[in-house]
Each structure stands twice: as C-alpha cells, then as structure tokens.
Structure 1
Amino acid sequence: MTDRLRVVIATPLTRELVELITRDERLEVVWEPELLNDPEIDWMVGPRQRTPEDQARYEALLDSAEVLFGVPDQSGRALARTVAANPRLRWVHTIPAGGGQQVRAARLDDAALARILFTTSAGVHATPLAEFAVFGVLAGAKRLPWLQGMQRERRWGPREPLRLLAETTVLVVGLGAIGRLTAEKLSALGCRVVGVHRREVEAAVEEIVPVERFAEAAATADAIVLALPGTDATRGMLSAEVLAAVKPGITVVNVGRGTTVDEPALVEALRDGRVGLAVLDVTAVEPLPEDSPLWGMPNAVLAPHTAAISPHEPRLIAELFAENARRFLDGETLLNVVDTREFY
C-alpha cells in the first residue's frame, strides 16, 4: 500500500469536484477524464465507448485502486472483473442511493464481500424525491387527470370539488431518508400520514404499521407513497392483494424502485378505477418498453427515473464521499454501508 490511500475516479466527475475530494492530503486521487463520459451527461446513459487501448488503460487504473469512486461503467460485470483482478481494493462508493443492486449484480463471492466495503449515496436524493412525492399526492388530491382531460377536450367545467389535504390520509411505505422526509413534508401540509415499515423509527407519522398489515392500512388511505429499496423482501410489495383492498380512486406514487410494484396488477387497477392516478418515477423495466400500456393511460404520470436529479446532486455525492474517506482513514464507521445480505 502507498503512503496515501489511492482513490480512482471510475465515473464522470467535474474537475471542481475532484479537487474537493483531493483536499484531504492523505488521498492520492487518480482522475483521467478522457477515459470517462462528459460529466454533464447523465451517468445512467451507459459507459463511454473506448478504443481497446483506452479500455486497457481504464482497467489498469481500476486494478491499481484501493478505493473506487463509482462502480466501473455502472456495471455489475465490470465491478466483478475489477474485484477479481485487484486484491488491493478495499472500498467502493456507488453513485446511486440504491447502489446495493449494482453490488448484487456483480455476484461476488463471500470472500470478496467480506474484503471490500461498499457504500451508497443514500440521503443525497431525499429532498428532490420527497418533493416529487408531494407533487404526486397533490396531483391526486386535485384530480390532475380530470383537469387535463377537460383541457384536452376544450371543456370548461363542470365545476366539481377537489380533495383538501387536511382530509387526505397518506400511507408512506418505507421510512428511510426519503420516506421520512416525505412524511415530514406531507404532515406540514396538513395530511394525516401513516407509515409502513418493518420496525419502529422516528418519523413525522401518526403511527407505524408493520409490513404485514400493508393491505389493511391501504384500505383506509387516499394515497400511497412507495419509498422502498429494491430487495428480495420488497419485490412486488404493492401487490394485487393490496390493490384489491384500496378505496376506489386512490393515488399511487412510486419514488423507490419499480420492482416493488406488481406492474400488471397496477395497470389493471388503473383501468378499473381502483387507482385514480399513478405517478411513477420508476418502473419494473427501464427504459419503459414501448409496448407498455402505461404510456397511453390518461391516469398515469411517468417520469424517466429523473425525480432524484437536482443541480446539487454531484456536489452532494462528492461531499458525502469526502466525509466517508475521512472516516475510512480515521478508522470510523462509514455512512451508508451496504448490507451485503439484502444488498440495501
């Protein structure tokens, strides 16, 4: 090991943010931007197209790292190759809040998972996602599909009542950073907020219902906000059973992961009116396939997994990494360590 901790920037980052990370003189930060996409391009678009020579250069850098800022090319396969080739690798910071799924996709063995720490950018995206969740609840309460339908038909009226937030019960499913901030914002607007979570936590909710009572709680709600990670335990949590229990016209908002919804069951509930509006930042398959019925549904609002993005996102991720690097060097517990059993 060198005198300084060798950090390789494996994903696009601006010079200004690289300099932010290098302020800690105990870090040797290696950044070769010509091997990476332009940082102004969405990091989810895929890897940079490299010549064979440049790909070899990129992999050689990865294989020299003790720490990686970002999963190589956002690819589980590339991460697996790097882990196998680099016995010195000690820590990988993933860019998405749900970066545990990138680790899962690498299919690493127990020895590798024990050797390497993995962290995520959880919490960085809480504010924009909570705001999007509030938008979804408001859109349902104020009957956005009905208003847009009249506008398309150039009809002025009839005048009909819109729900008050003070008379709206919202079920927030998942009380991590995103869910807790969503609950706080909705409570401040006057909503009655109930949490669904697997354990008791501090949150701005009237009560916390265990996951086993999700369907029961859904029967009393006017809106459901899903703020869940994508794990085996959460797969299909908004199920046909839950959707069979809801009040007609309920609003469903998903700012977590698309895998947490039984999508065919949701489509059927949108068709028959059990769900009056679905506001979805995520879907089961992304990009959403062209033949998905969701595209043409007047009571669905689709965002291309963009609700988490804000102008401040890259800086906040770099600051989080810098804080974790300090903790790593000082022997302290890191923030947002991935549970490599649930990959969350």
Structure 2
Amino acid sequence: MLSSPRSPRPRAAVVLGPALRHDVFGPAGWAGLTEVADVVAECEDGRALSLHPRRHEAEVLITSWGMPRLTEDLLRELPSLRTVVHAAGSIRRLISEAVWARDIVVVSAADANNEPVAEYVYAQTVLALKDVHRRAHRIKSEKGLPPLDGIPGIYGQPVGLVSFGSTARKVAARLRHLETEVLAWDPHVPSDALRRLDVTPVTDLRELFARAGVLSIHAPLIPGQTEKLVTGDLLRRLPHGATLINTARGAVLDEDALTDVLRERPDLYAVLDVTTREPLPPESPLYALPNVMLTGHVAGTVSAERRAMGRLVVEELRRIAAGLPPVHAVSAHASLLRA
C-alpha cells in the first residue's frame, strides 16, 4: 500500500518533542517503531518538519499533542503523505479539510488514550456514591465525623452518561459489575444499540439529568452545536446529592450557570477535570466553592500511561507495512463525534 521496491517499510516523519517521545514510546517502543518504519525525519515541531530536507519522502506522519494543524500549506510540503497516525486522542484540532480532500488516512490512538479516562470516571463515580468528596470536606471543616445516613452506596445506583462514544462505553462496561443502572443520551447512537449493551437510552437530556445520581459528561465540543450544551436549567434538575463529572471539554458546560447552581445547591458536587479556560483565571469562583473538585487534566494519559498509545501506533504501522488497513482509522464524520 505505502511500500516501494526500494523500501519495504513505510517512510515516516515523526513530530514529537523529546519528553513526549519518551512518554509515548520509551526505548522499547521506539525500537519497535524503527523496526516497522523507515524514519526519514525526526522533528520537534511542525516548523522543523516543514524545513526538513527529507520531508517530501514521508508517507506516514506520526504526531501527538502540540502538532500544528495540517493545513493545505503544510501538506504541500508533504507530497508523499498517505497516512497520519496521531498518538493522542481527538484529531479535531490537527486535521483540516485539506487532509480529507487528499484522501489521507487518519489514525487516532484515542482508544488507548481513553482507558485512563474511563478508569478516572469509574473511580470518581465510586467516590461520589460513597459521598467521599463532601464527607472529606466536612470532616476537615467540622473537625468531626458526619453521620453515615443518606450515603447511596455503590450498588444499583443510576449513573447518567452524556454522549456514548468510546470513553463512555468503557465507563459503562466498568460500572456493570456494580449493578449500575446506566442511562445514556446520545442522538447519534440508536436506542437498540444501547439496549444491547445493557444501557438504558434516554432521549431527553432533561430526563437524564433528573434521574442520574452521578452524571458524567462525554460530549465532544462541536462549534455551533455543543457549546454550553449543559445549561443551568439541566443542572438544576439533578437529584439531591448528585455529582457531576466532566472529563470531556470545559466549554460543553455553561460554567457561569454551573457556578450559580452550585451556590444555590450546596448538596450538589462537581468534579471538573476540564474547564473552558485552562488554567482558570485567578478570580474564578470555582476555586473557592467547597462543592467543586478541580483536577486539571489528570484523567487523560500521563507519563508511562502514554506507552499504550505508542504500542497502538507501532501495531498500526505494522499493519500498514503489511499492506493491511489500520484498525483505528477515523472518518471525517466520526472525527466530529469524538470528545
């Protein structure tokens, strides 16, 4: 597919800074990559790539966080490019219409990147159902032990998922052994498909918020469609003592409305791994609210967790070298639905 008689391995350009390359591949992963691909260019950033003397040879581009958008101008410098393999999650900021226009295959390591996110959501859900977030704050502020009355416990509780992509599917699978009533809203997933996964489809967001003791947001940020999807009206429908978890994108949530609702409803709790502005400005009231936990992007892959993405990249390159289609290719339409 990408090979030639002169070089049976696909010729690859790698755009990764040294620290990120170490996190994603490490020595063993890099050895595996160079075994299956002929690395013709190693660059720290997009500018270095656009100036590299062998950039015209690259059939495969291996990228991760920090890579600039693949515009028509940059693609002009990569005339042999046939495949982009992104060792990260969402490709939305990387891929332009020019990539799809050239029929370049785009591969994302989101499936590996999503595993720690699903673990994080599962862990925060268990803590929420054990009332750990509020209880820990009360113990410190009241200097005593609050009663155990009213703690829902981890078994058989309703948990709502806003959108049902790869991460949400993994969350639902982890919750299954807790006998959780998993509820999901996703206009792009047929109700029958949800039921086959033992997930209850909910077609009205208002109903989802009203029923969920824990509500986890997984919706992608699609300009003009999902900004401030989660409104104050929806947040006010959450049951008493509910917990909101956001690991998707901060702008999917109306943060001003969230602040107002959390002030009105001290019984609610918000676990925010993402915010609209990152970092939040010093004057943000979210810092001071006692019913907010800010975790600053720790849900996604960090440090050695990123090696799973490197392994996925190497396996996809192995398939490409063998003339097989990649497993984790993303279509233009599907890219809009990824968080």
TM range (shorter): 0.7 to 0.9
8 Å contact from structure 1 (residues 100, 340) kept in 2: no
Give, in angstroms, the shift of residue 68 of structure 1.
Answer: 0.9
Q: Which has the higher contact order (CA 8 A, sep 6+)?
A: 2
Deviation sequence 1:72-93 (CA, Å, 0-9, x none) = 84222x6554213222211112
Partners of 1:130 and 1:334 in 2: how far apart? Answer: 24
1:219 equivalent in alignment to 2:231: no
Bigger shift: residues 228-237 or 191-200: 228-237
Partners of 2:181 and 2:27 in 1: how far apart? Answer: 45
What's the secondary structure of 1:153's corresponding residue? Answer: helix
**1:275 to 1:146, Cα distance in 2 relative to 1, 3 A:** closer
**1:148 to 1:328, Cα distance in 2 relative to 1, 3 A:** same
Partners of 1:284 and 1:275 in 2: how far apart? Answer: 24
Among 52, 68, 71, the alignment partner of 2:61 is: 68
**1:140 to 1:147, Cα distance in 2 relative to 1, 3 A:** same
Unpaired runs of 5+ residues, structure 2, are none
What's the secondary structure of 2:211's corresponding residue? Answer: coil
Equivalent residues in 2 for 1:37-186 (5 A)? 55=48, 59-70=52-63, 73-76=66-69, 81-103=73-95, 107-109=96-98, 113-161=101-149, 162-186=151-175
Partners of 1:70 and 1:121 in 2: how far apart? Answer: 10
8 Å contact from structure 2 (residues 50, 77) kept in 1: no
8 Å contact from structure 2 (residues 11, 58) kept in 1: yes
Equivalent residues in 2 for 1:1-344 (5 A)? 3=7, 4-12=9-17, 13=21, 14-24=26-36, 27-30=37-40, 32=42, 35-36=43-44, 55=48, 59-70=52-63, 73-76=66-69, 81-103=73-95, 107-109=96-98, 113-161=101-149, 162-197=151-186, 198-200=188-190, 201=193, 204-210=197-203, 213-232=204-223, 233-273=225-265, 276-310=268-302, 312-341=304-333, 342-343=335-336, 344=338
Deviation sequence 1:177-231 (CA, Å, 0-9, x none) = 2111111222212322112222133564441223xx1211221111111123332
Partners of 1:172 and 1:15 in 2: how far apart? Answer: 38
**1:282 to 1:29, Cα distance in 2 relative to 1, 3 A:** same
What's the secondary structure of 2:315's corresponding residue? Answer: helix
Paired residues in the alignment total: 318
What's the secondary structure of 1:225's corresponding residue? Answer: strand
Name the structure 2 match of 1:41: none
Name the structure 2 match of 1:39: none
**1:117 to 1:286, Cα distance in 2 relative to 1, 3 A:** farther
Partners of 1:231 and 1:23 in 2: how far apart? Answer: 38
What's the secondary structure of 1:301's corresponding residue? Answer: strand
Partners of 1:180 and 1:271 in 2: how far apart? Answer: 32
Name the structure 2 match of 1:44: none
Give, in angstroms, the shift of residue 145 of structure 1.
Answer: 4.1
Partners of 2:281 and 2:128 in 1: how far apart? Answer: 25
Give, in angstroms, the shift of residue 291 of structure 1.
Answer: 2.7
Give, in angstroms, the shift of residue 63 of structure 1.
Answer: 4.5
RMSD: 2.9
What's the secondary structure of 2:12's corresponding residue? Answer: strand
8 Å contact from structure 2 (residues 247, 273) kept in 1: yes
Deviation sequence 1:284-342 (CA, Å, 0-9, x none) = 22233333222222111111112122554333212212222233344433233333245
**1:275 to 1:8, Cα distance in 2 relative to 1, 3 A:** farther
Bigger shift: residues 236-245 or 182-191: 236-245
Normalising by structure 2, we get a TM-score of 0.82
Unpaired runs of 5+ residues, structure 1, are 37-46, 49-53
Normalising by structure 1, we get a TM-score of 0.81
Give, in angstroms, the shift of residue 280 of structure 1.
Answer: 1.5
* Aligned residue identity for 1:270: L
**1:289 to 1:315, Cα distance in 2 relative to 1, 3 A:** same
Structure 1 vs Structure 2: percent identity of aligned residues?
23
